[in-house]
Amino acid sequence: MANYDPNNIFAKILRGELPAYKVFEDEKVFAFLDIMPRAPGHTLVVPKAPARTIIDIAPDDLAHVIKATQNIARAAMTVFAADGITIQQFNEPAGGQVVFHLHVHMIPRKNGVALKPPLSFKEEPAVLSEHASRLAGALQG
Ligand code: AMP
Residue 64 catalytic? no
Q: Which atom, in ligand 1's list, is nearest to the CA of 37? A: 12
What is the Å distance from ligand 1's center to 103 Cα? 9
Query: In this model, does residue 2 exceed pLDDT 80?
Result: no
| Largest CA-CA distance found in the chain, in angstroms, rounded | 43
User: 10 alpha carbon to ligand 1 midpoint, in Å?
Assistant: 8
Cβ–ligand 1 contact at 21 (below 6 Å): no
Report whether 62 contacts 45 (CB < 8 A): no
Asked if residue 129 is part of any domain, the answer here is yes
What is the Å distance from ligand 1's center to 99 Cα? 6
Which atom of ligand 1 is nearest to 118's Cα?
10
Domain annotation covers residue 63: yes
Digit-coded pLDDT (tens) for 8-64:
999 999 999 999 999 999 999 999 999 999 999 999 999 999 999 999 999 999 999
Specify the ligand 1 atom closest to the Cα of 98: 2
Q: Is the dihedral of CA 83, 87, 93, 94 positive or negative?
A: negative
For 101, the domain range is 9-140
Of the candidates 53, 13, 16, which has an alpha carbon nearest to the alpha carbon of residue 32? 13
Residue 92 resides in a domain: yes
101, 103, 105, 131: the catalytic one is 103
**Within a 10 A sphere around the Cβ of 76, how many other Cβ atoms?**
26
Q: How many domains does the chain have?
A: 1
Judge if the beta carbon of residue 97 lies within 6 A of ligand 1.
Answer: yes
**Domain membership flag for residue 24:** yes
Kindly tell me if the per-residue pLDDT of 1 is higher than 90: no
Would residue 1 count as lying in a domain?
no
Structural domain includes residue 4: no
In terms of phi and psi (left: phi > 0; alpha: psi -120 to 50; beta: otherwise), the region of 96 is left
pLDDT tens, 114-133? Answer: 999 999 999 999 999 999 99
CA distances from 71 to 17, 81, 95 (A): 27, 15, 26
CB 139 within 8 A of CB 23: yes
Within a domain: 2: no
Question: Which CATH number does the domain housing residue 107 bear?
Answer: 3.30.428.10
Q: Is the CB of 90 under 6 A from ligand 1?
A: yes
More confident residue, 141 or 72: 72
Q: Do the domain assignments include residue 3? A: no
